[in-house]
Structure 1
Amino acid sequence: MGSSTLLLASVVSSLGGLVFGYELGIISGALLQLKAEFRLSCVQQEALVSSLLIGALLASIMGGCLIDYRGRRNSILLSNVLILTGSLLLLIGSYSALVVGRMTVGFAMCISSMSCCIFVSEMVTPDRRGFLVTLYEAGITVGILAAYAMNYLLSDSKRGWKWMFGLAVVPTMIQLVSIWFLPSSTSFESSQRYFSQTERDKMNTVGNKEADDSKVSNNNKKVQYNSMSLFQRKDNMRTRTVLGLALVLFQQFTGQPNVLLYASTIFHSVGFQSNASAVLASVGLGLVKVISTLTSMVFSDRVGRRPLLISGCSVMALGLITIGLLSGHSLMNAERPCNSEDINVNRTDLPHLMVGNWTLFNTPLDESQRLVNNNTQDEDDVIDKVRPKPPNTLVSSPSVTAVNWIIFVCMMAVVSAYSFGFGPMTWLLLTEIFPAAIRGRAFAFTNCFNWAANLLVTFTFLNFIDAIGLSGMFLLYGMTAVAAGVFFYFMLPETKGKTLEEIDKELCFIKFYHSEDCCSIISRRNISPQYQRVHCQVSASG
């Protein structure tokens, strides 16, 4: 691939991730101004935030056929148009337009995420595939970081939420222009002219079959699979589907969305008490994510996917279990963000830190205004909220402070491990383990479970805390990470340095990567020392 085309492919991949991350992160700052301007109740706030996820879930259901039959590049173009349309709807200034606009943006984001990863993976040589596909995840982390920065810069601006939403148009337009100069990944012949002679010779031996398979979106006669093939034994598709579902479900059930949500409380507990310092701490967390993701970009094609993913699960398990064991000894508790937020727009959208039943932030607020903005709460909850809080409640001992700092370090370790493990490797492996003819639909199917699991984990977090406590919640996440590491050790093949065709052929026959180890563990017996196994051979004449 020529250097100019490689650069454009990098731009398309990173910009797709940047828009994805920006749209995910920008709502936290915009919501503060929106709920003050539109007098949003808790239900309305939740509906506005959830609309993005609902749109993404809908795209996961129907986006696979679009990607397989209309092509990867056309799908990216469509997502760009939808993001521009959704951004315009967000600027209208009515609540219904906000919900529809965010849902449209969510639909476009999901189509873009699937299309970008598949598009780039099919264009590049095996030695660059890991770098360019994980570049998408790097774009997500940069986008989240940019969203945090814009939330901070525009928090005092009148109707700053319009600028927050509108700025997503800039990277979208750049991606829209860039994609026109790239060949369609569904036409290998047209993309061949962009390859250097050396790379062309290297890929000719294996590239022709892979290219023929990738034409399926333009030629229905070449389609070898239907959607039900994902659940059949043909070409070991059932095992591949299980592996894809495991990637997305373990990614969500290790609690990463809630770990990030709760991070701000931990920042407050270790001394980041002011709003500005809490925002800067969040930016620092974003920087850790960016650095860790960039590390995975460098090592995914050198070390391999398996070591990064399994080591990421191990570090996450250690960090989450440590947080679970220590959280009972720290001065932390959770309060529902919707109910605890002040109407003032100059604050960051961070959960309050509580000690016992007393909130640490004793911000004066007119009681009638609080009742207006929390009209969906029970009467007892409202009375509890408006009851005066004693000042200077927090009296932390040196031992408690030390525990909080250990939890803080573990939090950073968990976020870092996710950013070089589950974060980029899930996207990369989903583009590699399925055949080209059904890759779009398979990616969409697994992505549907990804968004559904995200919704489930997010909405049940506080209920689980009520049931098993914060400590039990983090211990559960940690044990899930342990199970994920064990599962991937036995089930996940190494795809580093292999063409998509080679990976496809390997997965057609191999169900367990370490099947001999698995069988050895299962069949192990406790045999008495005075006995030993004797293998007898019986002759045919016998």
Structure 2
Amino acid sequence: QIVASSSKYLIMLDIGMGISYPTIAIPPLLHDGHGFKMSTSEATWFGNLVFIWQPVGSLASVPLSGLGRKRSMFYLQIPLLIGWILPYFASSAWELYIASSVLGLDLGKKSTPIATYIGEVCQPKYRGLLACIAYCFLTLGSVAVYAIDVICGNWRHTALYCATLPPLTAIVLFLIPESPVWLISKGRYQEAKQALMWLRGWTDETVIEAELRTLIIHNCKRLSAIKKKEKKEAKIENKDMPFIRYFFTKEMYKPIILSLVFLYLSNGIGVAVFRSYLVLIFQDFKVEMNEYIATVGVTLIGLMGNIVCVILMPIIGKRKLTFTAIILCMFGILALGLYAIFGQHLNITWIPIALMVEIFFATNLGVGHIPWILMSEIFPLRGRTLGTGFVAGAGNFMQFLGTKLFWTYVEYLTLGGTFIMYFITFCIGLTYLYFFQVETEGRTLDEIVATF
């Protein structure tokens, strides 16, 4: 299961690199640019195009479900490779726009298969842990792209180094099996058995016989409603029901609303929004140390949040971890906003760095990653691809909108006012999650879906 999950880890590493690349490319492009310069308007579009195309890619990933989780991720390594090579040869803003669009579209298309793959191939006792580790690699991707840029000092060469990752990911994807749940849904039981034997430690069929039987029976229940006690559920999930109508059943719209609220806290405000401008924010706070090194340090310490998340999630569960992370994050943002308004004249430049470290730590502890883990668990099988694709697309659109509007908020509200607005939004979101977020840690997918 760890080996199979490694494919997602490499993809998450690439996603972390992709969304963080504008952070290191924009500042030099506003000055010498290593060949050409960008205006502020052009730079903001370059920084946001990856987020514009991610929701389009997320929705476009739904038709790819017919290829399977594994093959979808495998074929999507090709455009990703192209998206990384293009910046190296770029001689105009439009070429960087194309590269950013290709990266965003491809990263968005991967969001559905990677969100569902671990949820379907891992046992409940390992699922949360392995999914959480994946988001360590998302942060590690950000650290990697910042570190590469500090070492080579050139955004073109950084992109070329990043281009080595898609071929490696493709090799790993070639070696792992398809999702047994997906294979069973297509009636390919023999292949599902082989995949499950591989995933449970290259074992023989006697070890996985009970689990395979459970998966097959569950699939049969959904498609033919052979058990009397599930007639009501079968009526809801009957294949004759129009899919749009099924989209508005409780077992679909409740997970969708929960995911959208959580994703707004994760993607619409906070670190996901101002990550692209972190160097510029440190400049605004007049941080005395090198802004690029400060960015690497803050992100690297934020990685510790991922590690703590991996340790704590199996112990206290996702629900308590969510509330802990949100409270830490929201009060860190409030303190940063108050410092921006009242404390800058003190010229204590270590305060914004310390607060940013705390915010990144809290985000990586749970705010930024748990909603994506939940997406792989809370949707029913029939609507899993569409539900995950829709929610992932919406989450990516929130990130685009939040990133694009960040400097508009700063212009009208000031930097401190923007952070305080984020704090108020966190308070509202936390109240909703307190009443509606369910605990999924250690429970089977069937048990989780039944709560909705």
TM-score with structure 1 setting the length: 0.71
Q: How does 1:85-104 map to 2 (within 5 A)?
A: 85-95=82-92, 96-104=94-102
Equivalent in the alignment of 1:453: 398
Contact 2:111-2:392 at 8 Å conserved across structures: no
Structure 1 position 209, deviation (Å): 4.2
Task: Name 1:60's counterpart in structure 2.
Answer: 58
User: Amino acid of the residue matched to residue 161 of structure 2?
Assistant: L
Q: Which moved more, 1:312-321 or 1:35-44?
A: 35-44
| 2:325 and 2:362 in contact (8 A); partners too | yes
Q: CA offset at residue 180 of structure 1? A: 1.6
Between Structure 1 and Structure 2, whose CA radius of gyration is higher?
1
Deviation at 1:177, TM superposition (A): 0.8
Correspondence for 2:315: 302
CA deviations over 1:360-385 (Å, ceiling 9, x no partner)? xxxxxxxxxxxxxxxxxxxxxxxxxx
1:206–1:501 CA contact under 8 A, matched in 2? no
Instruction: For residue 506 of structure 1, report the CA deviation from its aligned partner.
Output: 2.0
- Conserved in 2, the CA contact under 8 Å of 1:90 and 1:101? yes
1:230-263 C-alpha deviation (Å, 9 max, x unpaired): 6413x43221211121121222343323443565
- Contact 2:298–2:356, Cα closer than 8 Å, also in 1: no
Instruction: State the match for 1:200 in structure 2.
Output: 208
70, 73, 78: which is aligned to 1:76? 73
Which residue in the other structure is 2:195 paired with? Answer: 191
Q: Tell me which amino acid in the other structure corresponds to 1:64.
A: V
- Matched letter for residue 385 of structure 2: G
Task: Output aligned runs, 1:46-57, within 5 Å.
Answer: 46-57=44-55
After TM superposition, give the deviation of residue 214 of structure 1 in Å.
10
Provide closer, same or farther for how the CA distance between residues 28 and 241 of structure 1 changes in structure 2, counting only shifts above 3 A: closer
**Mean Cα deviation higher: 120-129 or 196-205:** 196-205
Q: Return the letter of the residue paired with 2:264.
A: L
Pairwise CA distance, 1:418? 0.9
Distance across 2 between alignment mates of 1:309 and 1:255:
15
Q: Is the 8 A contact 1:323 1:407 kept in 2?
A: yes
Amino acid at match of 1:443: T
- 2:371 counterpart (409, 426, 431): 426
After superposition, the Cα gap between the structure-2 partners of 1:28 and 1:413, relative to the gap in structure 1 and judged at 3 Å, is: closer
- Give the drift of 1:40: 3.1
Aligned-residue sequence identity (percent) comes to: 20
Aligned to 1:232: 248
- CA spacing shift, 1:268–1:29, aligned 2, 3 Å: closer
Aligned mates of 1:13, 1:200 — CA distance in 2: 23
Aligned counterpart for 2:359 among listed residues 399, 411, 414? 414
Cα 1:145/1:494, change in 2 over 3 Å:
same
1:321 is aligned to 334
1:204: Cα distance to partner?
Answer: 5.2
Q: Secondary structure at the match of 1:494?
A: coil
Check if 1:281 corresponds to 2:285. no
Contact 1:210 1:500 in 2 (8 A): no
Which segments of 5 or more consecutive residues in structure 1 lack a partner in the other structure? 1-5, 216-220, 332-395, 508-542
Compared with structure 1, are the counterparts of its residues 238 and 93 closer, same or farther at alpha carbon in structure 2 (3 Å cutoff)? closer
Shift of 1:206: 4.3
Q: 1:225 to 1:415 in 2, by over 3 A?
A: farther
Structure 2: tracts of 5 or more residues without a match: 184-191, 224-236
Match 2:20 to one of 3, 22, 25: 25
* Cα 1:201–1:257 shift into 2, 3 Å: same
Q: 1:266 to 1:58 in 2, by over 3 A?
A: closer
Secondary structure, aligned partner of 2:316: coil
**Which residue number corresponds to residue 45 of structure 1?**
43
Task: Specify the alignment match of 1:251 in structure 2.
Answer: 266
**What do residues 321-369 of structure 1 show as CA deviations (whole Å, max 9, x unaligned)?**
22233321222xxxxxxxxxxxxxxxxxxxxxxxxxxxxxxxxxxxxxx
Tell me if the contact between 1:134 and 1:427 (Cα under 8 Å) persists in the aligned partners.
no
- 1:289 offset after TM fit, Å? 1.7
Name the structure 2 match of 1:162: 156
Cα distance 1:452–1:435, how it changes in 2: closer, same or farther (>3 A)? same
Deviation at 1:64, TM superposition (A): 2.1
Classify 1:57/1:471 alpha carbon distance in 2 versus 1 (closer, same or farther; 3 Å): same
How does 1:111-122 map onto structure 2 within 5 Å? 111-122=109-120
Distance 2:23 2:277 in 1: 14
State the shift of 1:161 in Å. 3.5
The question of whether the paired residues in 2 share the 8 Å contact of 1:13 and 1:135 is answered with no
Q: Quote the Cα distance in structure 2 between the aligned partners of 1:480 and 1:437.
A: 33
Query: What do you get for the CA RMSD once the two structures are aligned?
Result: 2.8
For 2:11, the aligned partner's letter is G
Residues 310, 485 of structure 1: 8 Å contact kept: yes
Gap change, CA 1:207 and 1:97, over 3 Å in 2: same
2:122 counterpart (114, 120, 124):
124
**1:267 shift after superposition:** 4.7
Q: Which residue of the other structure, out of 158, 165, 174, is the alignment partner of 2:168?
A: 174
Secondary structure of 1:421's aligned partner: helix
CA distance in 2 between counterparts of 1:240 and 1:328 reads 38
Which has the larger displacement, 187-196 or 426-435?
Answer: 187-196
- Tell me what 1:14 maps to: 9
The structure with more helix, counted as a fraction of residues: 2
Letter of the 2:18 counterpart: E
Tell me the TM-score normalised to structure 2 length. Answer: 0.84
Give the Å deviation of 1:432: 0.7
Aligned length: 421
1:261/1:77 CA distance change after superposition, 3 Å = closer
How far, CA to CA, are the matches of 2:221 and 2:124 in structure 1? Answer: 17
1:492 positional shift: 0.7
Please state how far the C-alpha of 1:119 moved relative to its aligned partner. 0.9
Q: 1:491, 1:163 → 2: CA distance?
A: 46
Whichever residue aligns with residue 10 of structure 2, its letter is: L
1:306 Cα shift?
A: 0.6
Q: Is the CA contact 1:144–1:286 (under 8 Å) kept in the aligned structure 2? A: yes
Specify the SS of the correspondent of 1:303.
helix
Whether contact under 8 Å (1:230, 1:238) holds in the other structure is no
Q: Comparing 301-310 with 34-43, which one deviates more in the overlay?
A: 34-43
Residue deviations 1:18-60, cap 9 Å, x none?
Answer: 0111122223333425834133333433333333223212202
Change (3 A) 1:55 1:252: closer
- One-letter amino acid of the structure 1 residue matched with residue 67 of structure 2: R
